[in-house]
Structure 1
Amino acid sequence: MSVWRASWIGPAYHPTTDIGVNMFRKSFHLEQMRDRVAIHVSADQRYKLYVNGVMVDFGPQRGDLLHWFYRTVDIAKFLRLGENRIVAVVWNFGRWAPMAQHSARTGFIVQAEDAQDKALDTPGTWEVATLPGWDFDMMHGQLGPFYIDVGPGEKVDGAALPPGWTSGAMEGWTKPNHVAGGEARGTPSGGTPWNLIPSSLPPMLYTPRAQVPRIRRGYANDRGSSPEGPLTEAIQLDEGGNLLLDYGELLCAYPRIRLLGEAGAEVRLTYSESMWTQDGGKGDRSAVEGRKIMGYQDCIRLGRGPIEFEPLWWRTYRYLMIETERPVQVQAVGAIETGYPYRVEAAFESPDPVVAPMFHVSVRTAKRCAGETYFDCPYYEQLQYVGDTRIQVLLHYFLSRDRALPRNSIETMGWSTMENGLTQSRYPSRQPQVIPTFSLYWLLMLHDQLMYDGPEAAPSFVTPEFTRRMLDAYRELQSKPLSEQYWQFGDWIDSWPWGIPPGGANSRMCRALLLFA
């Protein structure tokens, strides 16, 4: 969309307190049902969109401020004759935001696709309120010196959380502040932090997992009382009790848990890829006996009556530990799987019983490392590094005809190109990081795209002059002063300090890459 008539709105703003969860709502009357009622919607940092209490969308797709995505959502089937209400839950992780999450300040924008529905545009009669009882904290239980940059844990106070909050049934609503006019990328005025572009990807999955987890026993500090086996009924945890659930494989999912207990009781959820040995190793991912759990966490304080918790951002885990200091009933535990809607259209067969299952493991790994971008790893970073992404894109070419995510990865990495012609090593990323060899990998990704999809698939900004400038910049790295400016990472070889091959930019590996590119 080239012209925006709607404006960005937000809560009262102060840069030191721009963190938390805000609600936006719009009530309106519908006199006639329609086949299509579409709205363009975006937010900083993230949103979940509800229509008459039903979640219909979440986003936006990750980009940067010069390329801020909006989604177009048809809400017609969720509307009814008479009174309707749209509610958006918009959150800002503030200083704890994932490294891949760019941000200017908390904001929200809606514009109706059809001018006859412009009453839905922001600001109009939209209202805003701060959601009480929902906070963030960096809770990474016992993980020690690991690098984790996927955002904070979430802390929910059931006593403060208003009932029916997703339908907008709460107090404290006020008129929102005007933040900035909506502007499409390329608008010459430069009056907004967000240069809006349409989403380039389909909606991410939001699919309830059918298989129930298994209760596991015998881990270190096991204070459970239920026998091992599938979780098929409510579990009562006694004072100081815990419950370890095993999903059998790594998930990227929104856990959903329903709890009941006395007001003020705290329940802590810990998520982990595997159980850890006492000396900090992983080993067999299915082993539990004598092992402990370490991982990031969420915390739920119970109010009066049952509470159902689902975090705003998804978690990566195979094991979920539920711990409480007071008696609590775990009434239900579910998982809503998410990620890129990866279509696998290829097949692999082998008579070797060892080799054949590796295809399924590989496909599952590819799926877990694909969302709004490709991930180097879904648990620790959720960052799109070129060195990993080239391999992931090649695999995607072999598995599927779908090109949306591969194309998006090439374009977003191109956005990171610096004045000297090099790309950053990972993108989107708030913190710039440059690994010169990764610029060459990105050129190889362009070549892969050319070979598989033809020259018409290349991004419009990729020209012979563009690629030549990047190669010239890399050649300059062979001068010592410039080569010392950047991380000359090659690979995690034990004998290479911090992954840097002997000779740095002048190493045989780097020279071979330049020749290949």
Structure 2
Amino acid sequence: MFEEAKWIWAQDVSGKDSYAEFVSEFGADAGLPVRLYLSCDSNYSAWVNGKLAGFGQCADFPHRKLYDKIDLTDLCGKSNQLKIVVWHYGEDSQTYINSDAKLIFEIVQGEKVLLSSGEHILSRRETHYRNGYCKQITSQLGYSFLYDATEKNERPYLPSVPVRCDAKIEPRRLAQLKMRARPRVKITPTEQGFLVDMGKETAGFLDLAVESPRRQKIVIVYGEHLREGKVPRLIGDRDFSVEYVAAEGENEYVNTFRRLAGRYLEIFAEKGTRLRYAGIRPVDYPVRKQEKKFDDPVFQKIYDVSVYTLRQCMHEHYEDCPWREQAFYTMDSRNQMLCGYHAFRGHRYQRENLITIAQGVRPHGLLSLCFPGGRDHSIPFFSLVYIMQVSEYVRYTGDVSVIPSVRPAMDRILATFASWERNGLVPNPVGFWNFYEWSEHSSGNDYWSRENQPDCYDLILNCMYVYVRRIYAALFGLSVDTSASVQAIEKTFYCKEEGLYRLSTKEKHFSRLGNAFALLIGLGGEELAEKVAEGKGMIPVTLSMTAFVYDALLLFGDKYKNMILEDIKTRYSAMLAAGATTFWETEKGWEDFGGAGSLCHGWSAIPVYYLCRLLLHEAG
């Protein structure tokens, strides 16, 4: 592949947040399939004969580029026009690692290369999009956009220039994302424009049809909830808006670069503007659902909404949330993968996501925070979660062929932890984010202030290290002795008076999550299990981490089964009663994180796993 193609870029395009347009012509014979193979940095949309052919560069790494395969057959005639627009981000975020702007492609029919990238491809700056605008939505997600429909691009096309790229290039093994039909929406005029309600959380592309009385800039704000009848735009340093400069008369526009998400759009436009349509065109990863039926209608609703939540968080890779970040974390995706084994058929998506994570080992020996991610605040606990993810994948699928691609990362993580061990315990490493859950004394928000402090040891990190060493040994048929670590944990963290394990050597606080981890490594017994089940005197467990508490209690058979089911029903019914169409990041909803709480978070779909396991008796 790409034997005749070169990496190229446009002569007159440089800098952050820039758009380049590439055009050419090619001929094709009737009756034979025509394919476009393409890779770029950072994102693309391709048209053949004026019709959209493909979009969305799969998230990859500068050292390992992935290429898409797009079927052009139905779009082609004898002579054809190709246009490719590439959006180069040019700045690190938690969803992208900065690299040089570039494009490579081939169009192939049978064994014949019809067209390939090189200096002969004409290119120029794409000026409908404001280049260098650099308006940030969030630090995790990256840039917004401004599109000017009145712009007449009179810049000349110039021969493209070659770009050096030594990256390994491999095929995208995941399916292309699908853009679905326009959803039905409710449009309500307001004093400043229009409010659009799509009826439920939707992730996809902005679709706009508007009649404008004159040239004007229209601002589109998107979000998951309303505050005093408005969609919140500015939340802290975040700006949830995009912009469109309309021409006088009819305008139609679909942006196929920046995926948005939410339930509501607020359109700010001049008097006399007629909004024909505005909404988010759903864009999702194609899956085959496994239909599940539950006798209890409440559990059925919880299951169905959980599955819909999962789908909104599956695109180029797993996402924590489609609105605020679209970032790929191990802990979030562990819950998502686990649920996916029960909710969807096939396992290619999980496999390729595990391989993507394995590319993210940093020089310090742990995984980056996100994949691919150019801003690094590694979470040691999340690196250990990866060993669980691989083990669960092999257990559910029987696919051991993934091991050569992922084991080096697993070994590096465990070797790094082993190098930190002191007398059976691992101190909190300096300069890392020692996060466990979004609760008091477990969010690690003081991690920068710990640099000059004496060693601090955390219960959860040490229990997790024991837990995954055992998981790793079982996966590879090895023996492991964790008794010294278990004894050190008992000696260091157990508080006899309370009969509980404290969270940290720094302070004396107790949490359900921390004590659940003690149970998971064999400490505490039934007396501790009773206390964890009751939760009295302990920091409550958050939605994302309930799986560890439930698993700890299920070590005691069905004794706590009904309690677990009731806990799921109580927590999730409360969200449904509040109007949730997807499940929230935390039970505080949008009010958490200074008003930036996500109302669609993949890790909160965990009821899928427990409802299937406990009510449908599926293997766990």
Q: TM-score range by the shorter chain?
A: 0.7 to 0.9
Opposite residue 127 of structure 2, the aligned amino acid is P
* Rounded Cα–Cα distance in structure 2 between residues aligned with 1:131 and 1:14: 9
What displacement does 1:292 show?
5.1
Note the 1:50-449 alignment, pairs <5 A: 50-81=47-78, 83-95=79-91, 98-113=93-108, 117-123=112-118, 125-135=120-130, 137=133, 148-161=139-152, 172-180=156-164, 192-209=165-182, 211-216=183-188, 222-223=190-191, 241-276=192-227, 288=229, 293-294=232-233, 296-311=240-255, 312-351=257-296, 353-449=297-393
Note the 1:502-517 alignment, pairs <5 A: 506-517=457-468
Q: 1:126 to 1:139 in 2, by over 3 A?
A: closer
Aligned residue in 2 for 1:19: 17
Opposite residue 19 of structure 1, the aligned amino acid is D
Deviation per CA, 1:153-187, whole angstroms, max 9, x where unpaired? Answer: 2112222156xxxxxxx76211111213xxxxxxx
Compute the RMSD of aligned alpha carbons.
Answer: 2.7
What displacement does 1:488 show?
1.5
Q: Is the 8 A contact 2:8 2:163 kept in 1?
A: yes
Structure 1 spans left out of the alignment, 5+ residues: 142-146, 163-169, 181-191, 224-240, 278-287
Q: 1:149 to 1:421 in 2, by over 3 A?
A: closer
Q: 1:505 to 1:140 in 2, by over 3 A?
A: same
**Higher strand proportion, which one?**
1
* Rounded Cα–Cα distance in structure 2 between residues aligned with 1:358 and 1:476: 44
Aligned residue in 2 for 1:477: 420
Structure 2 spans left out of the alignment, 5+ residues: 234-238, 469-620
SS across alignment from 1:397: helix
Q: Is the 8 A contact 2:211 2:249 kept in 1?
A: yes
Aligned residue in 1 for 2:437: 491
* Rounded Cα–Cα distance in structure 1 between residues aligned with 2:231 and 2:389: 41
What displacement does 1:18 show?
4.6
What displacement does 1:115 show?
8.0
Which range is displaced more, 309-318 or 195-204?
A: 309-318
What displacement does 1:124 show?
6.1
What displacement does 1:271 show?
0.3
Q: Is the 8 A contact 1:425 1:436 kept in 2?
A: no
Give me the identity figure in percent.
19
Matched, 1:38 2:29: no
How many aligned positions are there? 453
Q: Is the 8 A contact 2:204 2:280 kept in 1?
A: yes
What displacement does 1:504 show?
8.3
* Rounded Cα–Cα distance in structure 1 between residues aligned with 2:387 and 2:365: 12
Aligned residue in 2 for 1:231: none
SS across alignment from 1:94: coil
Deviation per CA, 1:404-437, whole angstroms, max 9, x where unpaired? Answer: 2211221111111234542223211011231111
Opposite residue 215 of structure 1, the aligned amino acid is I
* Rounded Cα–Cα distance in structure 1 between residues aligned with 2:393 and 2:111: 42
* Rounded Cα–Cα distance in structure 1 between residues aligned with 2:349 and 2:117: 30
What displacement does 1:103 show?
3.6
What displacement does 1:55 show?
0.8
* Rounded Cα–Cα distance in structure 2 between residues aligned with 1:362 and 1:395: 9
Q: Is the 8 A contact 2:57 2:68 kept in 1?
A: yes
**Higher helix proportion, which one?**
2
Aligned residue in 1 for 2:573: none
Q: 1:74 to 1:124 in 2, by over 3 A?
A: farther
Q: Is the 8 A contact 1:262 1:302 kept in 2?
A: no
Q: Is the 8 A contact 1:450 1:457 kept in 2?
A: no
* Rounded Cα–Cα distance in structure 1 between residues aligned with 2:19 and 2:326: 22
* Rounded Cα–Cα distance in structure 1 between residues aligned with 2:72 and 2:187: 40
Opposite residue 293 of structure 1, the aligned amino acid is P
Q: 1:77 to 1:497 in 2, by over 3 A?
A: closer
* Rounded Cα–Cα distance in structure 2 between residues aligned with 1:14 and 1:58: 20
Opposite residue 23 of structure 1, the aligned amino acid is E
* Rounded Cα–Cα distance in structure 1 between residues aligned with 2:291 and 2:49: 40
* Rounded Cα–Cα distance in structure 1 between residues aligned with 2:136 and 2:90: 17
What displacement does 1:332 show?
2.6
SS across alignment from 2:103: strand
What displacement does 1:363 show?
0.7
Q: Is the 8 A contact 2:265 2:279 kept in 1?
A: no
TM-score, with structure 1 as normaliser: 0.81
Q: 1:268 to 1:462 in 2, by over 3 A?
A: closer
Q: 1:253 to 1:467 in 2, by over 3 A?
A: closer
Which range is displaced more, 111-120 or 303-312?
A: 111-120
SS across alignment from 2:85: strand
Aligned residue in 1 for 2:7: 8
Opposite residue 144 of structure 2, the aligned amino acid is G
Deviation per CA, 1:253-292, whole angstroms, max 9, x where unpaired? Answer: 1121122223332211100111125xxxxxxxxxx4xx55
* Rounded Cα–Cα distance in structure 2 between residues aligned with 1:418 and 1:138: 27
* Rounded Cα–Cα distance in structure 2 between residues aligned with 1:139 and 1:270: 14
Q: Is the 8 A contact 1:258 1:306 kept in 2?
A: yes
Q: 1:159 to 1:355 in 2, by over 3 A?
A: same
What displacement does 1:403 show?
1.3
Q: 1:511 to 1:473 in 2, by over 3 A?
A: same
* Rounded Cα–Cα distance in structure 2 between residues aligned with 1:56 and 1:175: 23
SS across alignment from 1:355: helix
Q: Is the 8 A contact 1:246 1:319 kept in 2?
A: yes
* Rounded Cα–Cα distance in structure 1 between residues aligned with 2:341 and 2:363: 31
Matched, 1:28 2:26: yes
* Rounded Cα–Cα distance in structure 1 between residues aligned with 2:274 and 2:318: 38
